[in-house]
Amino acid sequence: MPNNNSRRQDHFVAALEDTPIAPIDKLDESQKARSTWADAWDAMRRRPMFWIASSLILLIIVVVLFPTLFTQVSPTVCHLADSNGSPTGGHPLGFTRQGCDVFSRVIHGAQASVTVGVVTMVLVTLFGGTIGALAGYYGGWLDAIVSRVGDIFFALPLVLGAIVLMQVLPARTAVSVALVLALFAWPQIARIMRGAVLSARNTDYVTASIALGVSKFKVLVRHVIPNSIAPVIVIATVSLGVYIVAEATLSFLGLGLPTNVMSWGNDISQARTSIKTSPQVLLYPSAALSITVLAFLMMGDVVRDALDPESRARR
């Protein structure tokens, strides 16, 4: 090389074959680069908690989609003669006060509870994620508005806000409950997405892409969002459980799903009248609800540990 600088360097750097460091330091360039997601997958599948959580979630999905696989008994055909009856053949968990089959109601109740949770989570993630990403990436007036609006919504705890809105809403359906919950929950995801995008925006690869002439929007979609989506995925997983609890709490207060809709929250609320005589009627839907929430919490924990290299190193 004719460059003066590099010739001077030659004095100080030993020839590669003289140093024993070379084989240690050597990069195997033929090997494919591993993505964060591949690393995370390797970290996850070594943990038993991941397999417990994912099999529970799989089971819940199957119950929601095909309840008749688990029970042939109709949850709505009830005989008052069976009121608060103990378990008999074909009715493993006994009967409710109205004489309905508890097992069948627990199985069929999954649909409404999980649907509200999932719809809320999808709405919150799409809306909050988009708003947060745009606010963090473009900054300026959009960011100022989003941050201030977020502050206001933060002063309203999720269920408290939902209580007021559900109180005045004329029609209560699974969709309206999900919409109301999403309305009060989106600022949390927006804030997290905004923070992640802010730190991704100032990295070298973003500067490099912009310098190469890639449009600003394309950089956001191709580079910034994929590199800041991890914390959003973690929070979304955990919040799915939170939303299911929120729906159940609203139903328990009489402000959630209408009483003719079968859901765990409604069943728990109705079972409280006979808590002294037949507590099991209350306990089974409660257990189903708790196990569902637990599954998503565990999944969130595992995903967070896998996606956060720092906590992986610490463990």
Partner 1 sequence: MLWYTGKRLLQTIPVFFGATFLIYFMVFSLPGDPIAALFGDHPPAPAVIDQIRAEYNLDKPFIVQYFLYVGGLLTGDLGTTFSGRPVIDVMVKAFPITFRLAMLALAFEAIAGILVGLISGLRKGKWFDSSALVVSLLLISVPTFVIGFVFQLVFGIQLGWARTTVSGDAPWGELVLPAIVLATTSFAYIVRLTRASVADNLNADFVRTATAKGLSRRRVVTVHVLRNSLVPVVTFLGVDVGSLMVGAIVTEGIFNINGVGGTLYRAINLGEGPTVVSFVAVMVIIFMLANLLVDLLYAALDPRIRYAK
Residues in the site for partner 1, rule: CB under 8 A?
148-149, 151-161, 163-165, 167-170, 241, 245, 248-249, 252-255, 268, 272, 275-276, 279, 282-283, 286, 289-291, 293-294, 297-298, 301, 314
Q: Compute the least distance from the CB of residue 294 to partner 1, in Å.
A: 4
| Nearest-approach distance from CB 289 to partner 1, in angstroms | 7
Closest CB to partner 1 among 227 and 286? 286
Closest contact distance (angstroms) between CB of 211 and partner 1 is: 30
Residue whose CB is less far from partner 1, 229 or 299: 299
Q: How far is the CB of 54 from partner 1 (least distance, A)?
A: 16
Q: Which is nearer to partner 1, 209 or 270 (CB)?
A: 270
Per-residue 3-state assignment (H helix, E strand, C coil) for the chain: CCCHHHHHHHHHCCCHHHCCHHHHHCCCCCCCCCCHHHHHHHHHHCCHHHHHHHHHHHHHHHHHHCHHHCCCCCCCCCCHHHCCCCCECCECCCECCCCCEHHHHHHHHHHHHHHHHHHHHHHHHHHHHHHHHHHHHHCHHHHHHHHHHHHHHHCCCHHHHHHHHHHHCCCCCHHHHHHHHHHHHHHHHHHHHHHHHHHHHCCHHHHHHHHCCCCHHHHHHHHHHHHHCHHHHHHHHHHHHHHHHHHHHHHHHCCCCCCCCCCHHHHHHHHHHHCCCCCHHHHHHHHHHHHHHHHHHHHHHHHHHHHCHHHHHHC
Residue whose CB is less far from partner 1, 200 or 293: 293
Closer to partner 1 by CB, 59 or 165: give it.
Answer: 165
In contact, 207 and 149? CB cutoff 8 Å: no
Closer residue to partner 1 in complex, CB, 92/161: 161
The least CB distance from residue 230 to partner 1, in Å, is 18
**Residue linked to tokens 């590669």:** 16
Judged by beta carbon, residue 112 or residue 133, the one nearer partner 1 is: 112
Instruction: Quote the least distance from Cβ 17 to partner 1, whole Å.
Output: 41
Identity of the residue, 124 or 162, whose beta carbon is nearer to partner 1 in the bound complex: 162
Select from 237, 232, 241, 236 the least CA-distant residue to 117: 241
The minimum distance between CB 228 and partner 1, in angstroms, equals 23
- C-alpha–C-alpha distance, residues 76 and 171, integer Å: 22
CB of 268 to partner 1, least distance (A): 7
